[in-house]
Amino acid sequence: MRIPDVYSNVLGLIGNTPLVHISSLSVKGKGQVYAKLENANPSGSVKDRIVKFMLENAAKTGLLKGVDTIVEASSGNTAISIAMLAARFGLKAKLFIPSDTSAEKKQLIKSFGAEMYCVSSGTPYEGCTDYMQAARVYAKGDRKSYLLDQYNNALNTEAHFHGLGKEVSSSLGKKINFFVATGSTGGTISGVGRQLKENDKRTQVILADPQGSIYYSHFYGTRAERRDLLRRSKVEGAGKTMAAQNMDFGVIDRVVQFNDAAAVEMTFHLHQHESLIVGLSSGANALVASRIAREVTGPANIVTVFPDAGSRYLSKLTDVEWLESLKI
């Protein structure tokens, strides 16, 4: 029997997540789907990897000298991770999130003792109706704060290049034909994609993008026609209405659009048929991965990522009105 390692604190528990075969979405003799279970990280999401990497880097390079507060804009998971890890660096956290972030994510942020601002047109912060703008405005006015800036800070992508990317490329032990992921900041797909392509340039990197996100139109160069159709996805952590600097279109081979309702239905499928309680963007990734598994004409390995746990969306997944708004 292997005796478990003893870690000196929570930082050592980040990463080295399991990879699981998703048999119900795999096709005999064709596409085999595998998913990296990022809910196994201590705060329950993939974002622990970037927050640890970015804070350690900022501390090492002196950027945290005189700083007492970490500031960030996040759709929820990065905020939870900062709320959990700031204390390990002797810092407080001030977090700006969109008002429609799930109730469970807001509860987690509060339970870690962080200050949280829910920003929307109905609840603006200092005149800002956008959570990213609100975080920037706050950080500018507080000289003792440090804005982590996951959307523009290249260390986000670098964290995934060295961490998740290396784990994905080494854990399957077989050729990876496709990697599928949604993009918000773009850090996951850009960092993992770059690592996989450095290992084998034939690996195809596929962005799963919700209808209404700017990334599809950006990639296919149809931006002007689609501007009026841009809207926020109900799948937290998928798509954007403004492209983030960390999204590296150079590593992406193809963008596959999905519809929010189908992603939510796939999330229920993963809960009920794979016994994996994963979040909405996991459903989106599984949906696109399963399309690829059926589309290929011969054997192929498709790896995707399940970024967080389904327990943080139960209030939405059991809300009849929310489901009806998606026509489910």
Ligand X SMILES: Cc1ncc(COP(=O)(O)O)c(C=O)c1O
The footprint of ligand X (CB under 6 A) covers 75, 77, 182-188, 236-237, 279, 281, 307-308
DSSP 85-138: HGGGGT-EEEEEEETTS-HHHHHHHHHTT-EEEEESSSS-BTTB-SHHHHHHHH
Q: 31 or 183: whose CB is closer to ligand X? A: 183
Which of 177, 247, 176 minimizes the C-alpha distance to 209?
247
Q: 302 or 309: whose CB is closer to ligand X? A: 309
Amino acid letter, residue 187: G
Q: 300 or 309: whose CB is closer to ligand X? A: 309
Q: How far is the CB of 280 from ligand X (least distance, A)?
A: 7
d(C-alpha 194, C-alpha 27), whole Å: 27
Rg value, the chain, Cα: 19
Find the largest Cα–Cα distance for the chain: 60
Q: 27 or 230: whose CB is closer to ligand X? A: 230
Q: 130 or 236: whose CB is closer to ligand X? A: 236
Q: How far is the CB of 249 from ligand X (least distance, A)?
A: 13
Reported in sequence order, the residue ranges of 194-262 that DSSP labels E, i.e. its strands, are 204-210, 254-258
Three-state DSSP state, 265: helix
Helices (H) and strands (E) in the chain, counts: 13, 10
Q: How far is the CB of 284 from ligand X (least distance, A)?
A: 8
d(C-alpha 199, C-alpha 265), whole Å: 34
Q: 75 or 169: whose CB is closer to ligand X? A: 75
- Give the sign of the dihedral formed by CA 25, CA 29, CA 33, CA 34: positive
d(C-alpha 324, C-alpha 260), whole Å: 12
Amino acid letter, residue 255: V
Adjacent-strand bridge partners of 233? none
Q: Which residue's Cβ has the minimum distance to ligand X?
A: 237
Q: 184 or 267: whose CB is closer to ligand X? A: 184
Q: How far is the CB of 72 from ligand X (least distance, A)?
A: 11
Q: 120 or 299: whose CB is closer to ligand X? A: 120
Adjacent-strand bridge partners of 301? 32
Q: How far is the CB of 265 from ligand X (least distance, A)?
A: 17
Q: Contact, 63 vs 85, CB < 8 A? A: no
Q: 67 or 238: whose CB is closer to ligand X? A: 238
Burial of residue 240 (number of CB atoms within 10 Å: 0-12, 13-18, 19+)? buried
Q: How far is the CB of 78 from ligand X (least distance, A)?
A: 6
Q: How far is the CB of 10 from ligand X (least distance, A)?
A: 19
Q: How far is the CB of 316 from ligand X (least distance, A)?
A: 12
Q: How far is the CB of 66 from ligand X (least distance, A)?
A: 29
**How many C-beta neighbours within 10 Å does residue 328 have?**
14
Tell me 75's DSSP state. S
